[in-house]
Structure 1
Amino acid sequence: MRSTLWAFAAILCCFGSPVQAAGIQLLQSDSALSGAIWYPCAAAPTHVALGSLSVGADFDLKGVKDCPVTGAKLPLVVYSHGRGGFFGQQHDTVEELADAGFIVAAINHAGDTFSDSSKRDTLSVWGSRPADIVRLLDFLLSDWKDRAVIDPARIGFFGFSLGGATGLVLMGTKPDFGRVANLCKETTGVCAQLHNGETPPEPVHDARIRAAVIIDPAPTVLTRENLAAVKVPFQFWRSQFGGPGVGDGAGNARVAEGLPGKPDIHVVPAGHFAFLAPCSADLAAAVPRICTDVPAGFDRVAFHRDFNAAVVQFFRGQLLGGDR
């Protein structure tokens, strides 16, 4: 189904108020698994402080730290952030999923976060990012202290920007680096590596993922041919006006036209950063680039009410059969 964002006003009318809040466990002991796990919790939500993100503003998550998990045989969604981002950059959507009965886990992609650029814009990140998600799933299903509450047959993926492309690789896509090399004009980063004959990493796939929400992915490596390998149902969101990493929006318009089957496609009349959680006043002052929307006057808060509801509705239908 191809539709615009505003068609989802009706979905909101059909949703009741959440009966649970988001419990949060922070993952801090292992640099390879630095992030958080959100899940249903019976306590009233408060704020979990993360402190400064080195951008001049404090950052809080909404939830209850270390609250006991409520429920059993819960669906799991893993999240992959964008280039130079961090695990909590779409925390409002994640919290909504946890309120609706999902476990959601997100980690920082080492070497490609706001504070660590050691792998950014290199070929290696196309291997390390999918491998990070595989490692996260292995931990959740085998080693997490609350692993018994997960239903391993109900696993979803949620990714933004380069995180969206990460998800498509996990679901079967082999990035087309030949196309990238032909388009490359830069003399640094991936372009330099390809022109120097360096070999891209082999794609890392994970058949445990049963459904996905892909948001404004990095489009350059995606073609009609490699997208045909994706057999997992997914919801696809793209920005009309694009932004850093996705160009002017035309690239993902091309990708949307090449998607296999009949995916659930949505076009948002805004720029790339509109998909990030609405900014606090402090964050907007510290990092206006990610908090200023295109076009001027776009209401990110109102959009996220619709967007979050649509994401929850999709995962409910795909992972729960609409039974919650």
Structure 2
Amino acid sequence: MRSTKFVFAICFLFGLTAAKAAGVRNFDIPAGATGPAIRLLVWTPCAESPQEMDARGAIFFAVPGCPVTGEKLPLIVISHGRRGWFGGHHDTAAALADAGFVVAALNHPGDTWRDTSRTDSLSVLVERPADISRLIDYMLDGWPDAPRIDAQHIGLYGFSFGGYTGIAVIGGNPDLRKGLPNCATSSLLACKQLESGEAPGQLIKPDPRVKAAVIVDPYPAFVFPEKNLKRTTIPVQLWSSDPAQNADGLSGCCAAAVKQGLPVPDYHFVANARHFSFLATCTLKEAQANPAVCTDAPGFDRVDFHRNLHADIVAFFRKHFAESANP
């Protein structure tokens, strides 16, 4: 996986772009003074027919080495959830690329399925937003096709811990201090570190280059005071799973905790959806290996839901990036 380069695509189209598939390839952001090395995948519009490929047991439809189609393309960055990976939302990324967006997803150092060394830690809460800024820097300055990106139209998709990341990136300003309400009863390692007197090692800086965001089931939401959420100014599409389907106390459910604070969000409550229903549909191999992530509520059709989810997300970004050439 570490040295593999692969390209992904989805099987259905929105009919709003000439692209026929979504090309994807691995890239690396080198380690430096601003942080450790970061692995990422970049999905791009592609005019070729896809091939079926296997990645970690997930089935993607790919066009290896497909040339990028289009100019002045908006950029969407994806932040995965706790212990996730850059391919966890591959169908969503492919849908966006097929609609004419460049999509970049990263592995957050210290909090992935392969590296859980800092999962739930204060350092991850602080560094995740910085990872996104480093990703944007790379896409605008270091990515081989950087001149094709419309730097004035950058969006973000964040799920669960990635939803926390996204809110921090757009200016939500998390309150990370000792005595934080709800931290005393939380199992979050960061809370224990804060209560023991540990302080964030750096300031969390918003990134004004992000102009629109899709936030899904953000966690931890209790670190965002309502007054800080109200300071965010960019358009937000907010998605929530159903608390009735997350009775096991799943940390990422749901979005209601931030709904009132965000200024007039485009809010979507998904009845009968579980937290992990927002992840890409599982193959049989994935379902056998991780049934908790792959099993939906009885009667819930994840494939059909994702078709509607993607249409709404594409429409949201198109609305707010209307001046861009391709979308």
Measured against the shorter chain, the TM-score band is 0.7 to 0.9
Q: CA RMSD in A?
A: 2.1
Aligned residue runs from structure 1 range 1-324, under 5 A: 15-16=14-15, 19-20=18-19, 21-28=21-28, 30=30, 32-50=37-55, 52=56, 58-178=57-177, 181-183=180-182, 184-185=184-185, 189-200=189-200, 201-218=202-219, 219-241=221-243, 242=246, 244-247=250-253, 249=254, 252-260=255-263, 262-269=264-271, 270-293=273-296, 295-321=297-323, 324=327
C-alpha deviation, 1:229, in angstroms: 1.6
Q: AA paired with 1:257?
A: Q
Greater shift, 223-232 or 301-310, is seen at 223-232
Greater shift, 79-88 or 125-134, is seen at 125-134
C-alpha deviation, 1:322, in angstroms: 8.7
SS of 2:126 mapped into structure 1: helix
Flag the 1:231–1:179 CA change in 2: closer, same or farther, 3 A. farther
The whole-number CA distance in structure 1 between the counterparts of 2:251 and 2:187 is: 17
Flag the 1:203–1:16 CA change in 2: closer, same or farther, 3 A. same
User: 2:158, 2:214 within 8 Å by CA — same for their partners in 1?
Assistant: yes
Greater shift, 172-181 or 308-317, is seen at 172-181
User: 2:111, 2:118 within 8 Å by CA — same for their partners in 1?
Assistant: yes
C-alpha deviation, 1:178, in angstroms: 4.6
User: 2:178, 2:195 within 8 Å by CA — same for their partners in 1?
Assistant: no
User: 1:180, 1:220 within 8 Å by CA — same for their partners in 2?
Assistant: no
User: 2:121, 2:188 within 8 Å by CA — same for their partners in 1?
Assistant: no
What per-residue deviation string (whole Å, max 9, x for no partner) do you get for residues 57-79 of structure 1? x2343221221111101111011
Q: Which structure has the highest helix share of the two?
A: 1
Flag the 1:45–1:187 CA change in 2: closer, same or farther, 3 A. closer
C-alpha deviation, 1:320, in angstroms: 2.4
How many equivalent residue pairs? 300
User: 1:179, 1:221 within 8 Å by CA — same for their partners in 2?
Assistant: no
Q: TM (normalized to structure 1)?
A: 0.87
Q: After the TM superposition, list the runs of 4 or more consecutive aligned residues in structure 1 that deviate by more than 6 angstroms.
A: none
What per-residue deviation string (whole Å, max 9, x for no partner) do you get for residues 199-250 of structure 1? 1342121110011111111122123111012111111101122462235x4x
SS of 1:222 mapped into structure 2: coil
User: 1:62, 1:95 within 8 Å by CA — same for their partners in 2?
Assistant: no
What per-residue deviation string (whole Å, max 9, x for no partner) do you get for residues 65-114 of structure 1? 22111110111101100011001111111101000000000110010001
The whole-number CA distance in structure 1 between the counterparts of 2:191 and 2:158 is: 24
Q: Which has the higher contact order (CA 8 A, sep 6+)?
A: 1
Q: AA paired with 1:246?
A: G
* Aligned-residue identity in percent: 45
Q: AA paired with 1:216?
A: D
C-alpha deviation, 1:17, in angstroms: 6.5
User: 2:42, 2:104 within 8 Å by CA — same for their partners in 1?
Assistant: yes
User: 2:212, 2:236 within 8 Å by CA — same for their partners in 1?
Assistant: yes
Flag the 1:188–1:275 CA change in 2: closer, same or farther, 3 A. closer
Give the equivalent residue in structure 1 for 2:7: none
C-alpha deviation, 1:172, in angstroms: 0.7
